[in-house]
Chains A and B, each alone.
Chain A
Amino acid sequence: MYRLTIRTRAGNATTIAVALLILIGLALPAVAPRSAIQDLFFILTMLTLAQLWNLLAGYGGLISVGQQAFVGIGAYAMFAGVILLGWNPVVAILFGGLAAFLLAIPFAYLAFRLQGAYFAIGTWVLAEVTRLLVAQWKTLGGGTGTSLPREATSAILGTDTIRALFGVRDAAARDILAYWLALVLVVAVTGGIYWLLRSRLGLALAAVRDNVDAAGSVGVDTGRLKWAVFLIAAVATGLTGGLVFMQTARISPDAAFALTDWTAYVIFIVVIGGIGTIEGPVIGVLVLFALRAALADYGSWYLMTLGVLAIAVMLFAPKGLWGLISARTGLHLFPVRRRLTGPKIEGGN
């Protein structure tokens, strides 16, 4: 009569709504202006990074302040693939994922020697080291950076078809392609994380988050779990980095390894939206975008507002905006929690 289930009614409705949204998203470039596509590209890539950071910190308990290392290495590997090996940029993005994977192995090996809070600064140091090393790479412009050659940007896989399909210029076609890829990436990453959390791995992660020692004693290999989560997040972050810099077509160590752009914003998205939920980063990225639009002309006030907002959320609503909504309404759009269902228990003691 009783069984463990993850399903909720809202969860089933979400599946249909998400499928519809993806279809609309794919068709959008036919009607939306180029600036809207660029904004959406920003939202989707930030959401991808936020979901990945949330996987690390919110589910894995690994608070990394060094994810910009994987954005940067992914971007640089993509540039290396195009400029040095003559690959098509879309293919070179995959190379970015591979490079992030290779970097993540020594990175995690060193960072995992530091416990808890020190892990956070350790990742920061490692990201700095990566940036300083890449800045020594003279063929890719050293400290000043470089651009993708014109012949590469105009011949990106699929842009010809897009140009013909929508009747747009080169640059706009590249934006549309980047947007589609970002859409694919965010769906794959979010879907992948959702699947991960509902699998045995998710159960193990929840056990580790609640109590490392106890999880270890019931047979969860906490060390391997941390490695798995870290490597998965690194690869996908590297892919995102490659994609972002394919769209901008210009790279420098300071931009590709920017703490503010690739880690600070991402942390604020997750914290403000609600850490440890799939819905949280979605809300968070919308808040970030709204604030960016409202405060675009006020420079540093934008970041100050985000910082203060994040502090206030941690103090007064640690589960973020989604936590507030969820507590009010009991809504779980992406249920990952196992609940016991069955006939209602009457009476008792």
Chain B
Amino acid sequence: MIWLDTLVQGVLLGGLYALFAAGLSLVFGIMRLVNLAHGDLIVFAAYLILVGVTMLGLSPLVALIVAAPVMFGVGWLLQSLVLNRVLGKDILPPLLVTFGLSVTLQNGLLETFSADSRRIPAGTLEGASIDLGLVTVGVMPLLTFLSAVAVIVGLNALFYRTALGRAFRATSDDAVVAGLMGIEPKRVFAVATGLAMAVVTVAALYLGMRANFDPSIGPARLIYAFEAVIIGGLGSLWGTLAGGVIIGVAQTVGAAINPEWQILAGHIAFLVVLLVKPRGLFPRAVD
């Protein structure tokens, strides 16, 4: 029974990693850009929500609703003012710019909020759990997982059912011809990064409510997100969820054997998939 419990905890943890990964996957899918500051932007959003809750007295949900458009704006500006200028055939400039951003953001947060661990107070949700007969699950992990599913359903609907999603896919296929269709690729990129940052805000809410965070934890979140994307296969959001679940289960199982092995077990699972199926478990047919 303890193993079933471990498994369920792992699956639910995977929801959090899928939330970290969805924005990364979105941006890479549209403009082949890997944002090395992705993890630090999650942490930044968590502090934004924290400020809303502790200083303005908002409930976490209201703080999320306020923070998400702010983060959309941050993403939009970041893309229009900085990243669009360095996007091109050479992958080096955007990587180095986002790496610089990662270090800058981390140290900016350190300067502003100090290295102390913080947590977004979640009121009665903290520690609440539901008895499902065979296992008892925490309300917070369950909410995280359901949010991840909702985000993925929403993004897929946007991608495949709206004119904006059509523009995203067309620009990803062929930015020059998209221009001939009246689409400004750079504007599409700005909207995509803005959207990714709105998703990041959702991820940040759960990151901050479930556990303590401090300015230094961003890069590790980037790595989990990246592993989930690669395991799932590029371009598939459901694959990304599956990837997140695999990392989550590997981590909880590893931790059940030896608490020191939690993180390592997640990485090992990633390396095994990379070794056996380098294109991921659910690769997209067209690339």
- Residues on A lying within 8 angstroms of B by beta carbon are 57, 61, 63, 65, 110, 113-114, 116-118, 120-122, 124-126, 128-129, 132-133, 135-136, 259-260, 264, 267-268, 271, 275, 299-301, 303-304, 306-308, 310-311, 314-315, 318
Contacts and interface: CB of A to CB of B under 8 A. Distances in A.
Contacts of B93: 314, 318
Contacts of B33: 117
Interface string B21-55: 00000001000111010000000000000000000
B6 interface: no
What 5 A-B pairs are tightest by C-beta distance, nearest first?
Answer: A307-B104, A117-B34, A300-B107, A310-B100, A307-B103
Question: Does more than half of chain A's interface fall in helix, strand or loop, or is it mixed?
Answer: helix
A300 B110 contact: yes
Given A304-B104, A315-B85, A310 B96 contact: yes
A57 B100 CA distance: 16
Given A118-B226, A120-B36, A307-B103, 5 more contacts: A114-B230, A121-B36, A122-B274, A136-B260, A310-B96
Given A65-B36, A308-B104, A117 B91 contact: yes
Given A117-B91, A128-B267, A136-B260, A304 B36 contact: no
B61 interface: no
A118 B102 CA distance: 16
A116 B104 contact: no
B70 interface: no
A128 B99 contact: no
Contact of B86 (A133, A300, A303, A314): A314
A116 B96 contact: no
Given A63-B92, A110-B271, A132-B264, A121 B101 contact: no
B100 A314 contact: yes
A308 B105 CA distance: 10
A86 B224 CA distance: 40
B101 A311 contact: yes
Most A Cβ at <10 Å: residue of B82, B95, B223:
B95
B82 A311 contact: yes
A303 B103 CA distance: 7
B92 A275 contact: yes
B91 A63 contact: yes
A110 B274 contact: yes
14 contacts: A65-B99, A125-B226, A125-B267, A128-B263, A129-B271, A132-B267, A271-B100, A300-B110, A303-B103, A304-B108, A306-B103, A307-B105, A311-B82, A315-B82
B268 interface: yes
A110 B274 CA distance: 7
Contacts of B230: 114, 118, 122
Given A110-B271, A303-B107, A124 B223 contact: yes
Contacts of B100: 268, 271, 306-308, 310-311, 314
A318 B95 CA distance: 13
B245 to A, nearest CB: 18
B227 interface: yes
A65 B222 CA distance: 13
Contacts of A299: 110-111
Contacts of A124: 219, 223
A112 B40 CA distance: 26
A63 B275 contact: no
